[in-house]
Amino acid sequence: MTSAESPEVPVLVRQEWCKGCGICIAMCPKKVLEAAADGKVVLARPEDCIKCETCEIMCPDFAIRVVGGRSKEVARGREDVADARA
Amino acid sequence: MTSAESPEVPVLVRQEWCKGCGICIAMCPKKVLEAAADGKVVLARPEDCIKCETCEIMCPDFAIRVVGGRSKEVARGREDVADARA
Amino acid sequence: MAVPIDDYLRTQFMPHIWCPGCGHGIILGAVLRAIGRLDLPKDEVCIVSGIGCASRAPGYLDFNTVHTTHGRALAFATGIKIARPDLHVIVLTGDGDAAAIGGNHLIHAARRNVGLTTVMFNNSIYGMTNGQYSPMTPRGRYASTAPYGNVERNFDMCELVRAAGGNYVARATTAHARQLSNYVENAIQTPGFAFVEAVTQCPTYFGRRNKMGTPVDMIEWFRKNSINAAAAAKLDPADLDGKIIIGEFYRGDAPEYTEVYDEVIERAKEAAAR
Amino acid sequence: MAVPIDDYLRTQFMPHIWCPGCGHGIILGAVLRAIGRLDLPKDEVCIVSGIGCASRAPGYLDFNTVHTTHGRALAFATGIKIARPDLHVIVLTGDGDAAAIGGNHLIHAARRNVGLTTVMFNNSIYGMTNGQYSPMTPRGRYASTAPYGNVERNFDMCELVRAAGGNYVARATTAHARQLSNYVENAIQTPGFAFVEAVTQCPTYFGRRNKMGTPVDMIEWFRKNSINAAAAAKLDPADLDGKIIIGEFYRGDAPEYTEVYDEVIERAKEAAAR
Amino acid sequence: MRREIRLSGYGGQGLILAGIILAEAAMHDGHEVVQSQSYGPEARGGASRAEVIISDEPIDYPKVTNPDVLLLMSDQACKRFAGSACQGGTVIVDSGLITSIPETSGVVYKFPITDIAVEATGRSISANVAALGVLNTVAKLVSPESLKNAVSSRVPRGTAEVNLAALRAGIAAAEAAGAER
Amino acid sequence: MRREIRLSGYGGQGLILAGIILAEAAMHDGHEVVQSQSYGPEARGGASRAEVIISDEPIDYPKVTNPDVLLLMSDQACKRFAGSACQGGTVIVDSGLITSIPETSGVVYKFPITDIAVEATGRSISANVAALGVLNTVAKLVSPESLKNAVSSRVPRGTAEVNLAALRAGIAAAEAAGAER
Amino acid sequence: MPGHNGRDLRLLQGNECCAEAAILAGCRFFAGYPITPSTEIAELLSEKLPQVGGKFIQMEDEIASMAAVIGASLTGAKSMTATSGPGFSLKQENIGFASFTEVPCVIVNVQRTGPSTGLPTAPAQADLMQARWGTHGDHPIVALYPSTVPEVFDLTIKAFNIAEQLRVPVILLMDEVVGHMREKVAIPHQSEIEIVSRPQPDVPPEEYLPYAAGPDGVPPMAPFGTGYRWHVTGLYHDETGFPTTAAPKVDRLMKRLYSKIESAADEITFTSDEFLDDADTVVVACGITARSARRSVRLAREKGIRAGMVQLKTIWPFPYDLVGDIAGRVDRIIVPEMNMGQLIGEVERAAKGRCEVVGYSRVDGEPIAPAEIVAKIEEV
Amino acid sequence: MPGHNGRDLRLLQGNECCAEAAILAGCRFFAGYPITPSTEIAELLSEKLPQVGGKFIQMEDEIASMAAVIGASLTGAKSMTATSGPGFSLKQENIGFASFTEVPCVIVNVQRTGPSTGLPTAPAQADLMQARWGTHGDHPIVALYPSTVPEVFDLTIKAFNIAEQLRVPVILLMDEVVGHMREKVAIPHQSEIEIVSRPQPDVPPEEYLPYAAGPDGVPPMAPFGTGYRWHVTGLYHDETGFPTTAAPKVDRLMKRLYSKIESAADEITFTSDEFLDDADTVVVACGITARSARRSVRLAREKGIRAGMVQLKTIWPFPYDLVGDIAGRVDRIIVPEMNMGQLIGEVERAAKGRCEVVGYSRVDGEPIAPAEIVAKIEEV
Ligand SMILES: Cc1ncc(C[n+]2csc(CCOP(=O)(O)OP(=O)(O)O)c2C)c(N)n1
Ligand SMILES: Cc1ncc(C[n+]2csc(CCOP(=O)(O)OP(=O)(O)O)c2C)c(N)n1
Ligand code: SF4
Ligand code: SF4
Ligand code: SF4
Ligand code: SF4
Ligand code: SF4
Ligand code: SF4
Ligand SMILES: [Mg+2]
Ligand SMILES: [Mg+2]
């Protein structure tokens, strides 16, 4: 955990695991994320985050995690939330 | 060829090949064939033969053959003759 | 004019090794009649088999013949066909050979749509090894390795080959020898991968274990329990349980593998010339 | 409460070996979320794989894990499941592993209806060996062994598994990660053989060879070219060319193998007692 | 002492079972014993052959070469094996099935074995057990008691009575012939 | 004389191609040559390494152990291989990518190789060829002519011009540095 | 039916006996694919295993059978398969996996005349070297070879015990003749049979290192699904079981695999001999040929020839020392075998030129008769 | 780009070179299944074969690949496949079929560290014995083993020629290091390369006996589809090609298969040596290890040690006489190899105790360096 866990940070990024593929950045519906110089992800607009978990679900490297997570119902994916950007 | 090839014999049986399975006997629509003591086939009622080729087609041992054979059309099986006993 | 079966047989080896009443000989006759009607030159026909009672067929046939390893007939045949696309390559195989150990080669040959004609002699048993259950043995039937009745279900091989991409798919039984021969003829004429399932009797093992009576009884059983595809389509699936559905299930026109490969050769030669 | 993914990972080995943007990690996440939602005890989960990039998954997972030989995962898994029917045995496999060398084990596991959940990571390429075409590579696509475009057609693996007897069959892509996870969850819950095809991106080989852009581009491509099974059913087959049909294709209730075998044990014990 | 027995005929006559019964009887008499049968291309239909070696010491080489006792139950078997009998060996032929006997160095005993069985049991399938009765009475290989027990324990369920009848018929026929000679 | 060269960095920098180009140039100069590269778990992303041996006699043992010339193009490569250089060997580092250089028995030359390439061609992908320019100018392994030819014949179709520009830029940078020192 | 010493006296085929012994040895899982001349083993187990709550499955081929056997063994079930030449060839890749991942199992190969389909119902002893070298890469192997039906019983039990004790695949080589012949076997009661089971961890799951071995070189093996979650891979792995490419660890694993068998070599080398003491000609043989060899030396002794014999019941690891010792004491070693010369290669290695080594091959599908060996003994 | 003697000078990987040589040798059919470290051979042939009208197919596995290669060869096409350990294990059954039915083909095995998945990208020399004994039943085999890229060229051509001349499968064993390294190769023109093709019948089809051999033991082989309709079977067969179980015919076939290779042994045994004349220590090695051996004896000579070396380019049939001769003349033979000791077994057999035979094994995925062998030479 390189990002400190504090209430203001909606998602945590494990920098050592992130490979900078850019998927979370592209998939975030709120444009919360951006690439740093080394390609790895940084939180550019944490305040816009809606904790939709798309970044977490789409990250192939288990490198990004929504703090606290969502309700079991939502995590189950059973609600009719459409897929990321779909 | 143990049966002599003569015009009166509608089907020839190769005794050395026949294993006496009885299929031709059962399938012949005209009951032309019968089993000898050793189980191999003999012509009991050659005169009833209609040269339908069922015995030839159904013999697993290539042991029985209709003399002369039928027209190409029939041999092709393309006519709507139903299968043996079907 | 009758088809010259004798001319296709290596008569010096007859009578063949199959048991009295074994249906394999009926299927073989149907295949030879199909070849005869098509009048294929003997030098251009290649027969390939694996291992099993069914797979002993090529040894009796006066063509280019190969008796390969268990389950691999289609892979050998693929090599032959691709190297010599002008040959008529016909694979004669058993249900164990084709559906058990050889299942993968079967679905891949179908997918590639290689121009092979495959006739599967399906007696629902491993005959050659004395009667173990096969992937075509229905659940509940007895076999030497199924003393309490078979736990497994059988494949619907025609459906499987079709799903894998086969270009011609049909099924008949030894009770329908004429129909069977016609299907084989159609199979040979269809470009791409063609598959004919020939349901047949093994009186020695399947028949005896399952108290099915004589070879004639088994043929009769096939006849009574077979139903035409068209008729079957109109029935409730539940009513089809235990029935043998016969007919031509599919006849397509997907391009044959070696023809597509010829285009690759052209492209490659162009690329090399550049 | 979120699913405890970290608890399922052998985090000491992270980051994993997969390339940046490889979709395999997305599929793995979907599988782990399904396990998490079902709250399966870790000791009762067994993950089995073959060889390939996809098949490296079990090494990262804190369950009973086996990384077997290429193509044989389902056969190993069959042994595990039959010996210990109470375990949840999940097979993670690639398209090469499952559809090429392992195709026979796949259709036979489906036929037997052994209670295994199989997730096939389909990137349409052999990733681990640097990009040769696979049985899931569509005709015309490029690969290191298809420099002139692939001659072969791909399987419709869902259709094939269904035809072989699979009791649950579904497909989704990495662009549909939530749906995919739900399918895996349903697969685990369905008794008998369950198969989920997860269409995924190999940006390193398939993507690069076929000029498909970044991993994000590939995911977008999946999203745009996918069509729901229900919607697809209404379209002309010709319009489906090149499309990825996603959805749950089948959910059955055929009896699971080990349950049927338990009946055999009962019958055998009775017979022995007699 | 080592005695080699060969039972030969065609598939379906149950000669392998006969061999097993004989071997099992010898085992219960306390002998060392080896029973084997031919597999091979003949396995599919055609010829059938069972062999038994009965000995008082451990049996090293387990193959029959020149049998002391030879049972011949088909013309084909006769042609192939009649010559294999050892000098002075016992050769028993089913005279109902065999048309001619080639030269042999054994002593030939003819019995219409299959007919004897059919007469006793109504079933030709029990000829194998009738043959055992004949053979053991002539060649004295095992105790009649053990043979009876082995028949009962090895034949298919529900056929013990029929087979014991065949055995008795075989024994009786051989004894009668012995009395005559 | 046998000279061992190791080119190391990360996947995607084209170092294997650089090794092939260098080897091909040496071959056309009439030398014996062996080029190899690491495979292994690193193959999937991560580190990359190419090795070349140039010799005037047949090359028996084909592995590089203590390179005479070492190119380091990533921190990871630097950490792993800096120590492998032979006493007094030539060690060339991409000073734009590498933050710290561990101890080495070679003589270190620093060049911002990737930056040089980007400046000359606008494309960082040509850093491998720029590195060859630098390296060959410092270590004098092959004739500049052969190197140029090898670059032209081995780089992907349509990129010869760009790569030759990178080569020239690398050579120029090394020559300039030589002038300075 | 009480027999010798209260044991159950039975007339059993070699194949039947193997199946019976397997069940008594604790076998509870069989996966196989039928092939002559081994099929009776599967047939009998399909009937018997469910009677004792075990599982029988007929797989789609031999590759899958071997895989299923390994999978079942991972759950703790004693497992076996049986096959013949063509199937043995197909199993090789997964036998290597079992050897490398140290999963106990028993593989029976009832040999027939090869190569390829060969003569499926005729005997040969031509898979000896394949048993040793059939899979790719270095791997040690244990192979036992009975010559009588009672030995089949004994060595089947031993095969399971060795597999478990050393965590290795054990190959039981049989001759077609032995597999198909019936002999008298005194079946002991279950209680009389010594049964060995794989070593179990004595540490809690958190401390379990699945490939950390004690002095005997054999790591404890926790069954899957018992709280020990470990990883099995055919890649090189270290004590944790996870992949490694570190050269010293690679070296250590490979050498341990060999040394665990070498250290147990004495315990697992079974032989039987006759007239060895004063022999100047010794016949070395295995399987059915050893029976002819035994008779042949008796016949030779009757003729006043000082002949002796050794039967190797353990073929692999090969008893080089034992054979080497003999070579140092005698004039000639004769190696009769039903192949083109396989065992003889190892005998020559062991002999190191200290005596003459003469082979006698028979490759026509017929067993070697005692007289043939006598002739070879007499011909100097 | 004209090079040595007007030849085309190219910097080629061992694998690439193998593919190029195959095409020049007349190969027109390749079937394979990808596996590291052999895949480049397939990749290059997928591009090059159609350019010359040949066929490339990627099969569903290695078993099918081997089958397709045999099938294609039956039509007269020179055919090959390439693989590595796990795939080599899978091909074994069909390699036996090719050997037994005498269908010419070339099988390349670019070895990696095994067993099982092992270290897929690291070198080892541990499939030597498998190459000899991998399939069931007796079968002779030919295996060649290059140590440099130019040797890859040379031995690939020879592999095809031997396959055709003797109607045998020929195995080309390669080390991962050789397969992946690039070296200078002078490619001759097609016209400079001697090409051998399988013997053809000189009788009309009615008189053709597909398994009747002349004095060289090699029967003429008519391509399928040319009017000679013959039968191919993996069962024992007589001169007609049809199955037989007659013991004398079975015996005759097996012995001919061995003798046809034995009679050609001198022609197909390739070695290379250095400082053999006066050596009292000789290093015997193959593949990449032979290069280290060569360097090591040079280094030893510099130290005044009378060391020499032999590189075996033909591994099977093993040159027992050659090695035996050396053993009779020297004090010590050292056998360095990247395995637990495989070649050494054959050297010991050949040496028959006439000199000391010492092994040096390295099994950690790293090649053996010259210094290691020097140390072994120095340690007496
Ligand atoms: C690799 C291999 N495994 C097993 C066998 C044994 N075997 C020979 S034929 C056969 C099954 C044959 O069944 P099928 O193909 O249905 O033919 P049938 O005899 O019923 O006509 C088997 C298992 C073999 N020859 N090779
Ligand atoms: C018997 C065998 N053949 C071939 C290989 C080489 N091999 C390793 S992984 C692989 C293909 C992997 O493809 P896939 O299953 O699609 O996985 P991906 O890497 O694409 O995730 C191959 C051919 C092998 N390891 N073993
Ligand atoms: S949780 Fe949703 S909104 Fe928040 S960063 Fe992730 S993708 Fe963006
Ligand atoms: S998706 Fe994951 S690996 Fe990719 S950039 Fe985002 S956090 Fe990093
Ligand atoms: S041809 Fe027809 S009618 Fe004549 S015997 Fe044959 S089956 Fe009977
Ligand atoms: S069908 Fe053929 S084998 Fe059977 S009885 Fe008739 S002729 Fe004889
Ligand atoms: S065993 Fe069955 S399949 Fe084989 S020949 Fe006899 S009847 Fe036919
Ligand atoms: S090669 Fe392809 S499949 Fe393998 S890890 Fe990389 S992106 Fe994923
Ligand atoms: Mg069958
Ligand atoms: Mg893939």
Enumerate the domain spans of chain G: 4-192, 205-266, 271-379
Q: For helices E160-180 and E144-154, give the axis angle rounded to 10 degrees.
A: 150
Q: DSSP string of chain D? A: ----HHHHB-GGGPSPSSPTT-THHHHHHHHHHHHHHHT--GGGEEEEE-SSSGGGGGGGBSSEEEE-STT-HHHHHHHHHHH-TTSEEEEEEEHIIIIIITHHHHHHHHHHT-SEEEEEEE-SEETTTT-EE-TTSPTT--BTTBTT---SPPP-HHHHHHHHT-SEEEEEEGGGHHHHHHHHHHHHHSSS-EEEEEE---IIIIIHHTT--SHHHHHHHHHHHEEEHHHHHTS-GGGGTT-EEEEEEEE--PPPHHHHHHHHHHHHHHHHH-
Write the CB contacts of H70 (distance below 8 Å, at least 6 apart in sequence).
Answer: C68, C76, C79, H79, H94, H97, H98, H101, H103, H105
Distances (CA, A) of G109 to A61, G39, H254: 46, 11, 22
In angstroms, the first-to-last Cα distance of chain F is: 27
Residues in contact with ligand 4 by the CB-under-6-Å rule are: A 13, 18-24, 40-41, 59, 61, 63-64
CA pair distance B33, B26, nearest whole angstrom: 8
Query: Is F41 touching G (CB cutoff 8 A)?
Result: yes
Evaluate: CB of B35 within 6 angstroms of ligand 6.
Answer: no
- Conformation bin of residue F150: beta by default, left when phi > 0, alpha when psi is -120 to 50: alpha
Distances (CA, A) of B38 to B18, B20, B63: 11, 8, 15
Where residue E110 sits, what CATH number does that domain have?
3.40.920.10
Q: Look at residue G7 in the predicted model and tell me its pLDDT.
A: 75
User: How much distance in Å is there from the Cα of D154 to the middle of ligand 10?
Assistant: 13
CA pair distance H35, D101, nearest whole angstrom: 12
CA E86 to chain centre: 16
List CB contacts (< 8 A) between E41 and chain C.
Answer: 17
Residue with CA closest to ligand 6 atom 4: B21
User: How much distance in Å is there from the Cα of C128 to the middle of ligand 7?
Assistant: 7
Q: How many CA atoms lie within 13 A of H3 on its CB side?
A: 18
Between chain D and chain H, how many beta carbons pairs sit less than 8 Å apart? Answer: 45
Between chain C and chain G, how many beta carbons pairs sit less than 8 Å apart? Answer: 45
The pTM for the full model equals 0.97
**pLDDT band (50, 70, 90) for residue E42:** very low
Residues in chain F predicted with pLDDT less than 50, given as ranges, are: 42
Q: Which residue of H has its CA nearest to C265?
A: H50
pLDDT above 60: residue B4: no
Q: Look at residue E12 in the predicted model and tell me its pLDDT.
A: 84
Contact F44 D20 (CB under 8 A): no
Q: Which residue of H has its CA nearest to C261?
A: H55
Residue with CA closest to ligand 8 atom 8: D22
CA pair distance H46, D52, nearest whole angstrom: 22
List CB contacts (< 8 A) between G37 and chain E.
Answer: 39
Query: Is C115 touching D (CB cutoff 8 A)?
Result: no
Q: Which residue of H has its CA nearest to G129?
A: H133
Continuous segment of H or E residues that includes residue A47 = none
Q: Which subunits have 3 or more CB–CB pairs within 8 Å of chain D?
A: A, C, F, G, H
Angle, alpha carbons E80-E81-E87 (nearest 5°): 145
Q: Structural domain boundaries of chain B?
A: 11-85
What is the side-by-side strand order in the sheet with C64-67? C226-228, C244-251, C168-173, C194-199, C116-122, C88-94, C45-49, C64-67, H231-233
Q: Look at residue H325 in the predicted model and tell me its pLDDT.
A: 98
What mean pLDDT do residues E4-18 have? 93
Q: Look at residue G380 in the predicted model and tell me its pLDDT.
A: 75
List CB contacts (< 8 A) between D216 and chain A.
Answer: 21-23, 26-27
List CB contacts (< 8 A) between H367 and chain F.
Answer: 63
Considering its fold, how many domains does chain C have in total? 1
Q: Look at residue B1 in the predicted model and tell me its pLDDT.
A: 39
| Encoded tokens for E78 | 């006769």
Testing ligand 1's pocket by substitution, the residue of C60, C126, C133 carrying the most ligand atoms inside 8 A of its CB is: C126
What mean pLDDT do residues E109-119 have? 96
Q: Look at residue F67 in the predicted model and tell me its pLDDT.
A: 96
What domain range is F103 assigned to? Answer: 2-177
Candidates G320, G215, G221, G346; CA nearest to G265 is G320
Candidates G145, G116, G118; CA nearest to G131 is G145
> Which residues 32-71 on chain G approach chain D with CB closer than 8 angstroms?
47, 49-51, 53, 55, 57, 59-61, 63-65, 67-71
List CB contacts (< 8 A) between F41 and chain G.
Answer: 243, 245
pLDDT above 80: residue D77: yes
3-state helix, strand, coil in chain F (%, to 5): 45, 20, 35
Residues in chain G predicted with pLDDT less than 50, given as ranges, are: 1-2
Q: What is the third-level CATH fold of H4-192?
A: Rossmann fold (3.40.50)
User: How much distance in Å is there from the Cα of D204 to the middle of ligand 8?
Assistant: 6
D16 within domain boundaries = no
- Which ligand is closest in space to the CA of residue C129? 1
**pLDDT band (50, 70, 90) for residue E41:** low
pLDDT, chain C, mean:
97
Quick one: C211 exposed, middle or buried, by C-beta within 10 A (0-12, 13-18, 19+)?
exposed
| Encoded tokens for H351 | 């040496």
pLDDT above 80: residue A80: no
CB D38 within 8 A of CB D233: no
What residue type is assigned to position B52 of the chain?
C
| Encoded tokens for F42 | 């690193």
Q: Look at residue G38 in the predicted model and tell me its pLDDT.
A: 98
Percent above pLDDT 90 for chain D: 96
Q: Which residue of G has its CA nearest to E52?
A: G182
pLDDT above 80: residue B69: no
Considering its fold, how many domains does chain E have in total? 1
| Encoded tokens for G153 | 């019983």
| Encoded tokens for C106 | 């079967």
Quick one: E149 exposed, middle or buried, by C-beta within 10 A (0-12, 13-18, 19+)?
middle
CA pair distance G226, G76, nearest whole angstrom: 10
CA pair distance F144, F159, nearest whole angstrom: 19
Contact H46 D70 (CB under 8 A): no
pLDDT, chain B, mean:
80
Q: For helices E15-28 and E144-154, give the axis angle rounded to 10 degrees.
A: 130
What domain range is C41 assigned to? Answer: 22-273
CB nearest to F36's CB, from H36, H181, H295: H181
G52 or E43: which leads in pLDDT: G52
Tens-of-pLDDT digits for all 380 residues of chain H? 445 556 789 999 999 999 999 999 999 999 999 999 999 999 999 999 999 999 999 999 999 999 999 999 999 999 999 999 999 999 999 999 999 999 999 999 999 999 999 999 999 999 999 999 999 999 999 999 999 999 999 999 999 999 999 999 999 999 999 999 999 999 999 999 999 999 999 999 999 999 999 999 999 999 999 999 999 999 999 999 999 999 999 999 999 999 999 999 999 999 999 999 999 999 999 999 999 999 999 999 999 999 999 999 999 999 999 999 999 999 999 999 999 999 999 999 999 999 999 999 999 999 999 999 999 999 97
**pLDDT band (50, 70, 90) for residue A85:** very low
What mean pLDDT do residues C59-84 have? 98
**pLDDT band (50, 70, 90) for residue E47:** confident
**DSSP code, position G64:** H
In angstroms, the first-to-last Cα distance of chain E is: 27
Q: For helices D103-112 and G62-74, give the axis angle rounded to 10 degrees.
A: 70
| Encoded tokens for G187 | 């079946």
CB nearest to C103's CB, from D100, D104, D159: D104
pLDDT above 50: residue D100: yes
Question: CATH code for G271-379?
Answer: 3.40.50.920
Question: What CATH class is the domain A11-85?
Answer: alpha beta
| Encoded tokens for C194 | 């063609």
